[in-house]
Amino acid sequence: MIPGTYLPTEYLPILIMLLFATGFGVVTLWVGRFFRLRRPYAEKLIAYESGNPPSAPPRFRFSIKFYLIAILFVVFDVEAIFLYPWALVYDKIGIFAVVEMFLFIFLLLVGYAYAWRKEALEWER
């Protein structure tokens, strides 16, 4: 195959599906505009807080734990993605694959054990 001439035609249906899904969502909402009621007033449009006016701005400080989870996610998800190509060619690369597997998962487990030890996985402390 000449580089630059490859057209991923098998992805075309996905593109069409994406457009179709977008179209469905947008059109349903847009058509609905002409049918639904619209009687807004100030009390109806405040944020829901069991009937009271909001007591404080809603974008308050939240637990640092969520950031930690996000960082751990990035680390572990990237490692999981690294496992995919390895899993696909597992049959073809023989004993090397097994050694590699134990090495890689050992490294992963070291990081995991560290995170556990540092109580990064505890929600409450």
- Interacting residue ranges for another protein, rule: CB under 8 A: 10-14, 16-18, 20-22, 24-26, 28-29, 32-33, 35-40, 42, 44-49, 54, 58-60, 62, 65-66, 69-70, 72-73, 76-77, 80-81, 83-84, 87-91, 94-95, 97-98, 101-102, 105, 108-109, 112, 116, 121-124
Residue 61 to residue 75: CA distance in whole angstroms: 25
First to last CA, the chain: 58
The number of angstroms, rounded, from the C-alpha of 123 to the middle of its chain's C-alpha atoms is 20
DSSP one-letter code for 53: P
Taking the least distance from each CB to another protein, the nearer of 17 and 114 is 17
Q: Report, in Å, the least distance between residue 77 CB and another protein.
A: 6
